[in-house]
């Protein structure tokens, strides 16, 4: 188990793949951990040194007092790259991880080779929705996280996928129940307050935007908005709900590799 020491605590990460390969950073969604990318690892490590990490407030990483901000989470990524002496890397983030990726593209594009943002938007949801969730989680603690887990299957996967692959769906949603309520609420605030719509034109690194056709959390319209406001951005859409990397599986991995390996 590997950790990088930040000023306030430790950030948990995992490195896999050839030591001399280009680095690909994978950033988890709200309420999951670095293992949400397990299904991609066999394909991605054929070509890349894959760096996964638990976003602050998730998994085995530090849980500090909230609220957090996307800038703070983006700075954590930069600190991780600095600590591991990685000057530049590819970055792929989903949902909240996609917001982090957009922030990095806007404010630290010199650290990126190529950028993939998945099932995300430049602004996600409304303050009312996030405030209600934050209040519930801080009030009810672990019980609220279990309730969110049970409700998340319908948000994260289409009904046919959840029915056909119940063990796979539960493996992912169990990550939500295991997430720190304080860390989850602090990250909800980061997503609530993020609005990058007016800054997307600053992203100059090659960018791929991935959407799920059945994603009610971050519908394709938000992905199309990113694609049309980032010069030269590519777009891909899969039959999937919110976690397209899990539901689309190999097709998702193949499309990301096609983009990252393009000359």
pLDDT digits (tens, 9 = 90+) for 176-221: 999 999 999 999 999 999 999 999 999 999 999 999 999 999 999 9
Are 4 and 10 in contact by the 8 Å Cβ rule? The answer is: yes
Would you list the domain boundaries of the chain? Answer: 2-260
- Asked if the model's pLDDT at residue 118 lies above 90, the reply is yes
Angle formed by the axes of helices 70-83 and 96-107, nearest 10°:
70
State the chain's mean pLDDT as an integer: 97
57: left (phi over 0), alpha (psi -120 to 50) or beta: left
pTM above 0.95, yes or no: yes
Considering only the C-alpha atoms of the chain, give the largest distance between any 2 of them, rounded to a whole number of Å: 51
DSSP assignment of 55-78 equals -TTSTTS---SS---HHHHHHHHH
- The lowest-confidence range among 24-33, 61-70, 95-104, 167-176 is 167-176
Express each pLDDT in 220-253 by its tens digit: 999 999 999 999 999 999 999 999 999 999 999 9
Q: How many CB atoms lie within 10 A of CB 168?
A: 17
pLDDT digits (tens, 9 = 90+) for 129-178: 999 999 999 999 999 999 998 888 889 999 999 999 999 999 999 999 99
Q: State CA 63 to chain mean position distance.
A: 17
Q: Considering the domain 2-260, what is its CATH architecture?
A: 3-Layer(aba) Sandwich (3.40)
pLDDT at 174: 94
Report pLDDT digits (tens) over 216-228.
Answer: 999 999 999 999 9
Of 118, 122, 130, 115, whose CA–CA distance to 37 is shortest? 118
Under the banding of pLDDT at 50, 70 and 90, the label for residue 1 is: confident
Alpha-carbon distance 263 to 260, whole Å?
A: 9
Environment class of 22 (CB within 10 Å of its CB; exposed 0-12, middle 13-18, buried 19+): middle
Give dist(CA 52, CA 29) in Å, integer: 12
Per-residue pLDDT band at 50 (split at 50, 70, 90): very high
Using left for φ > 0, alpha for ψ between -120 and 50, and beta otherwise, residue 217 falls in alpha
């Amino acid at each position: 188990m590997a950790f990088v020491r930040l000023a306030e605590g430790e950030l948990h990460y995992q490195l896999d793949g050839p030591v001399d390969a280009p680095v690909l950073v994978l950033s988890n969604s709200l309420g999951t951990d670095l293992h949400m990318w397990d299904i991609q690892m066999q394909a991605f490590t054929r070509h890349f040194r894959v760096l996964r990490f638990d976003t602050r407030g998730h998994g085995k990483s530090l849980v500090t007092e909230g609220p957090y901000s996307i800038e703070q989470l983006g700075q954590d990524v930069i600190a991780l790259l600095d600590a591991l002496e990685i000057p530049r890397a590819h970055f792929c983030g989903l949902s909240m991880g996609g917001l982090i990726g957009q922030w990095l593209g806007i404010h630290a594009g010199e650290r990126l080779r190529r950028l993939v943002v998945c099932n995300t938007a430049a602004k996600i949801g409304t303050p009312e929705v996030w405030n209600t969730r934050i209040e519930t989680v801080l009030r009810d603690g672990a019980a609220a996280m279990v309730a969110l887990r049970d409700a998340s299957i319908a948000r994260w996967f289409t009904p046919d996928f959840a029915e056909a692959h119940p063990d796979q769906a539960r493996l992912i949603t169990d990550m939500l129940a295991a997430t720190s309520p304080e860390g989850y609420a602090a990250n909800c605030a980061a997503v609530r307050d993020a609005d990058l719509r007016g800054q997307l034109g600053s992203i100059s690194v090659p960018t791929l935007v991935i959407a799920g056709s059945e994603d009610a959390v971050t519908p394709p319209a938000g992905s199309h908005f990113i694609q049309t406001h980032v010069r030269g951005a590519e777009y891909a859409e899969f039959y999937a709900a919110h976690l397209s990397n899990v539901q689309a599986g190999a097709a998702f991995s193949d499309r990301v590799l096609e983009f990252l390996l393009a000359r």
